[in-house]
């Protein structure tokens, strides 16, 4: 069995989560990791991104190996808010924040696990396959770092993102595509008390559309949601404009296209019925991916978990990750659980045993 130095792993994880790195503010964490990886013998390349995306940079790093094969390992460096001034505490084998911030295990648990596994392989003088790293900025606000990641130096044909929850051994082989919509309904203002019939209420138009729209759980593969609604200025004015932000997701690209078309058509028909105008700005956020259990990448991951006494399982998810983007870029990629739980909340936590277990897996996978 691997011999991960759990105390060093925990201390490095705590060191990383204490570095403020909310999305777009990854300069400090990216500089720290670049220096640490360089000290470990990685060839490190800092990839510049637009300042609107981050004040830091994507990191590509490579450590040549002597075993056959090569793999790209990836995590994102940013966290959601509130993620500044994190104070980790360890109680009964569980690492969590003091309670007024997130923990940052999403996704610094993956970073710490990768680096501890490599350190142990090096210290034990073990042969390993060639290791490539992609540490990305601004994943949380739309997978921006991976979308901008320069793949020209990447030699691997397969990748592993470590950015999911669930039991250790969870392999995300299927994830949805997603499309967002910004819907602006333009009606006509009027005095709500003196002449409401001369106006066109944008909210009435929206309500008409939504009442006829398939939303929430569409089927086992497809969801749709209207997440934000903004409009109106005063109670005595017939609402002239309304802006909504919506999304649709599906594991099946054809179903996604059909759901989006349905939502667009329903808004347009409601606007026409009421004499209003509607404009819809659409953006494809990421494409779906689906890998068979028979793929060599999946089989190799399962074998490494099995060698550590873990019965790994493949599953689908309703969320997107950098794995979606890397698959779209031609790198066959899965997403693995690091054991992170209650992410994006101030109750976020990770078990020390899970952090050690995912580090153990990486040790075994890279040195087999």
What is the pLDDT, as a whole number, of residue 54?
98
Q: What single-letter DSSP state applies at residue 152?
A: T
Class of residue 256 by CB neighbours under 10 A (exposed 0-12, middle 13-18, buried 19+): buried
Query: Catalytic residues, which ones?
Result: 78, 139
Beta bridge partners of 181: 246, 282
Host H or E run for residue 322:
helix 322-328
Compute φ and ψ for 247, nearest 5 degrees. Answer: -145, 160
What is the pLDDT, as a whole number, of residue 76?
98
Whether the model clears a pTM of 0.85, i.e. scores above it, the answer is yes
What is the pLDDT, as a whole number, of residue 22?
98
What is the separation, in whole angstroms, between the first and last Cα of the chain? 12
Q: What single-letter DSSP state applies at residue 308?
A: T
- Are 238 and 185 in contact by the 8 Å Cβ rule? The answer is no
Compute CA distances 237 → 194, 200, 273, whole Å: 10, 10, 21
- Are 280 and 314 in contact by the 8 Å Cβ rule? The answer is no
What is the pLDDT, as a whole number, of residue 345?
98
Q: Residue ranges of the alpha helices (H) in 230-295?
A: 253-274
Evaluate the CA torsion angle 336, 338, 344, 347 in order and state its sign: positive
What is the pLDDT, as a whole number, of residue 283?
97
Distance CA 214, CA 226 (A): 11
What is the pLDDT, as a whole number, of residue 3?
79
Contacts (Cβ under 8 Å, ≥6 apart) of 163: 74, 75, 76, 106, 107, 110, 139, 321, 322, 323, 335, 338
Half-sphere exposure of 196 (CA within 13 A, CB side): 10
Q: What single-letter DSSP state applies at residue 19?
A: S
Please list the ranges in the chain whose pLDDT falls under 50. none
Distance CA 322, CA 61 (A): 17
What is the pLDDT, as a whole number, of residue 1?
63
What single string gives the DSSP state of each residue in 48-82?
E--TTT-SSEEEEEEE--SSS-EEEEEEE--B-SS
Pairing of the two strands 289-290 and 170-175 = antiparallel
């Amino acid at each position: 069995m691997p011999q991960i130095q759990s105390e060093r792993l925990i201390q490095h994880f705590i060191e990383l989560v204490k570095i403020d790195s909310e999305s777009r503010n990854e300069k400090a964490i990216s500089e720290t990791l670049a220096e640490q990886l360089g000290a470990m013998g990685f060839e490190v390349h800092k990839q510049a991104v637009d300042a609107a995306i981050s004040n830091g940079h994507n990191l590509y790093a490579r450590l040549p190996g002597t075993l056959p094969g090569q793999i790209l390992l990836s995590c994102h460096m940013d966290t959601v808010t509130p993620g500044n001034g994190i104070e980790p505490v360890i109680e009964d084998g569980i690492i969590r924040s003091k309670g007024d911030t997130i923990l940052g295990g999403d996704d610094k648990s993956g970073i710490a696990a990768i680096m501890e596994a490599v350190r142990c392989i090096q210290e034990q003088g073990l042969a390993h396959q060639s290791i490539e790293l992609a540490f990305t900025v601004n994943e949380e606000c739309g997978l921006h770092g991976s979308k901008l990641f320069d793949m020209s130096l990447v030699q691997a044909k397969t990748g592993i993102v470590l950015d999911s929850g669930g039991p250790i051994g969870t392999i995300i082989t299927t994830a949805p595509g997603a499309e967002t919509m910004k819907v602006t309904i333009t009606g006509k203002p009027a005095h709500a008390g003196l002449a409401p019939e001369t106006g066109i209420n944008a909210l009435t138009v929206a309500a008409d559309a939504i009442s006829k729209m398939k939303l929430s759980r569409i089927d086992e593969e497809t969801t749709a949601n209207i997440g934000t609604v903004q409009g109106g200025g005063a109670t005595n004015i017939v609402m002239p404009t309304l802006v909504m932000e919506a999304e649709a997701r599906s594991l099946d690209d054809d179903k996604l296209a059909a759901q989006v078309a349905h939502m667009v058509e329903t808004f347009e028909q409601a606007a026409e019925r009421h004499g209003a105008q509607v404009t819809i700005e659409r953006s494809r956020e990421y494409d779906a991916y689906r890998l068979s259990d028979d793929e060599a990448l999946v089989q190799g991951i399962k074998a490494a978990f099995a060698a550590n006494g873990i019965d790994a399982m493949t599953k689908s998810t309703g969320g997107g990750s950098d794995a979606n983007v890397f698959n779209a870029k031609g790198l066959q990629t899965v997403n693995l659980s690091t054991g992170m739980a209650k992410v994006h909340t101030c109750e976020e936590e990770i078990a020390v045993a899970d952090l050690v277990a995912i580090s153990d897996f990486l040790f075994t996978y890279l040195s087999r």
